[in-house]
């Protein structure tokens, strides 16, 4: 390998999926270049600092940056790599349909940098059949590049540990592709699972949608119990106590983020909108902010109340606000309440207040994200606290 070449180029390499993967592969000895146009994130990473929260990542980043890990916005870094790992986001459009054109635009942009001896690995969650479609598209451009699909499986914030501990799913179209993909990901974990590309695509989608439906079950039960004035968590605690078959029964709470809702809608689109269970889950999870506001309106005249939302990230102990239902709640309350205050220990935005200010100034506090930092908070005795997570251990009624 030439001194100016790389083993791996990760497109979208400074994001929540690409950066932990790049750090891990670089730590395993591969020369990795992170290709990204995010200049602010690039400056941070080049200085050995993480642009977002990821447990254990910054310590390793400092040891590999500039040695086996590099950052670039130049397309020639793609041409000088063997593996090209794609981790760009794959959103749904305003009609809840997947956007395949995002891949078409990407490959049109980099096609001149792609060689036949490259190995392209799709890591992003994709619509079923996308890997085969991308392979055919590249072939239509005269490229005989090897194409594989190896889905990411990590949970945000735990990537560095899970990249080592979780089995890696790989898929490709021939034995050589499987051999190369297996060799790369076995650097991270010894357990490799082999599927066909479309099986691997469904494996990733099914995993996320299964979780989304689980959350919807709990949120539906929570809404039923709360509607009848029953504390959901008295039931939940009894059901889950020393009962192994209820081990996977999650607590109620906002089910959001950049993946679960989107991937549920991808399967819905794939099945010609006959995925009734997925649509029901979407209505329940997305409707939880509306339910909270409606129940508050039944008890209080919100026009005279200041409501504070404590925690704006999409999940606990995280600084990612993408698709967070706390923001949906904020929009609804801005119509219904006298005033709305927002706070998050990890997110800084114009107009946000400290958690202390929020508690002191709010008549009603809704816990949006149960960050560990909120455990010591003392609420006022006359204050209504909406704790759908039962984080503070006082039940789910409000």
Q: Average pLDDT for residues 260-265, to the nearest whole number? A: 94
Q: Which domain holds residue 300?
A: 210-386
Q: For position 98, what pLDDT does the model report? A: 67
Q: Average pLDDT for residues 361-383, to the nearest whole number? A: 97
Model confidence pLDDT, tens digit, residues 120-152: 999 989 999 999 999 999 999 999 999 999 999
| 100 within some domain | yes
Residues 167 and 214 in one domain: no
- b/e sequence 308-328, b meaning 16+ C-beta within 10 Å: bbbbbbbbbbbbbbebbbbbb
Q: State yes or no: pLDDT of 60 exceeds 70.
A: yes
Q: For position 171, what pLDDT does the model report? A: 98
Residues 15 and 114 in one domain: yes
Q: Average pLDDT for residues 307-330, to the nearest whole number? A: 97
6 alpha-carbon distance from chain centroid: 28
Write down the pTM of the prediction. 0.92
* Contact between 161 and 54 (Cβ < 8 Å): no
User: The domain that contains 329 carries what CATH number?
Assistant: 3.40.50.720
Confidence of residue 93 (pLDDT cuts 50, 70, 90): low
Residues 217 and 323 in one domain: yes
Residue where a domain stops, chosen among 195, 221, 240: 195
d(CA 181, CA 149): 9
Q: Quick one: angle between helices 276-299 and 197-227, nearest 10?
A: 30
Confidence of residue 1 (pLDDT cuts 50, 70, 90): very low
Q: For position 74, what pLDDT does the model report? A: 92
Residue where a domain stops, chosen among 129, 163, 195: 195
Model confidence pLDDT, tens digit, residues 208-236: 999 999 999 999 999 999 999 999 999 99
Q: State yes or no: pLDDT of 91 exceeds 90.
A: no
Q: Nearest to residue 282, comparing CAs of 269, 293, 294? A: 269
Spatial neighbors of 381 by CB under 8 A, at least 6 apart, are: none
Spatial neighbors of 155 by CB under 8 A, at least 6 apart, are: 162
| 269 within some domain | yes
The total number of structural domains that make up the chain: 2
Model confidence pLDDT, tens digit, residues 42-57: 999 999 999 999 999 9
Residues 144 and 266 in one domain: no
Q: For position 92, what pLDDT does the model report? A: 67
């Amino acid at each position: 390998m030439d001194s100016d070449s790389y083993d791996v180029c990760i497109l979208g390499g400074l994001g929540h999926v690409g950066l932990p993967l790049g750090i891990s592969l670089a730590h395993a000895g591969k020369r990795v270049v992170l290709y990204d146009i995010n200049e602010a994130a690039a400056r941070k990473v080049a200085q050995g600092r993480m642009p977002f929260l990821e447990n254990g990542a910054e310590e390793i980043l400092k040891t590999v940056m500039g040695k086996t890990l590099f950052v670039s916005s130049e397309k020639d870094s793609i041409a000088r790599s063997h593996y090209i790992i794609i981790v760009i986001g794959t959103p749904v459009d305003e009609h809840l349909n997947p956007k395949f054109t995002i891949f078409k635009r990407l490959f049109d942009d980099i096609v001149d940098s792609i060689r036949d001896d490259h190995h392209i690995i799709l890591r992003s969650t994709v619509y079923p059949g996308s890997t085969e479609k991308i392979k055919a598209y590249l072939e239509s451009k005269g490229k005989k590049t090897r194409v594989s699909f190896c889905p990411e499986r990590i949970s945000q914030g735990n990537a560095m540990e899970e990249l080592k501990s979780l089995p890696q799913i790989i898929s490709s179209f021939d034995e050589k592709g499987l051999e190369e993909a297996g060799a790369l990901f076995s650097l991270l974990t010894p357990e490799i699972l082999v599927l066909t590309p479309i099986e691997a695509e469904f494996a990733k989608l099914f995993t996320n949608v299964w979780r989304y439906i689980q959350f919807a079950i709990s949120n539906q039960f929570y809404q039923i119990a709360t509607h009848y004035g029953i504390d959901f968590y008295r039931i939940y605690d009894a059901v889950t106590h020393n009962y192994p078959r209820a081990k996977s029964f999650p607590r109620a709470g906002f089910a959001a983020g950049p993946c679960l809702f989107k991937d549920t809608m991808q399967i819905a689109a794939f099945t010609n909108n006959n995925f009734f269970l997925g649509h029901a889950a979407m209505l329940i999870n997305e409707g939880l902010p509306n339910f909270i506001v409606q129940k508050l309106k039944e008890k209080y005249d919100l026009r005279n109340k200041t409501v504070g939302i404590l925690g704006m990230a999409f999940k606990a102990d995280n600084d990612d606000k993408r698709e967070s239902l706390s923001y949906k709640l904020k929009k609804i309350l801005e119509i219904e309440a006298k005033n709305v205050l927002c706070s998050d220990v990890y997110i800084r935005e114009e107009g946000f207040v400290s958690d202390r200010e929020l508690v002191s100034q709010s008549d009603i506090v809704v816990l949006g994200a149960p960050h560990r930092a909120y455990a010591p908070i003392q609420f006022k005795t006359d204050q209504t606290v909406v704790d759908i997570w039962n984080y503070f251990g006082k039940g789910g009624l409000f």
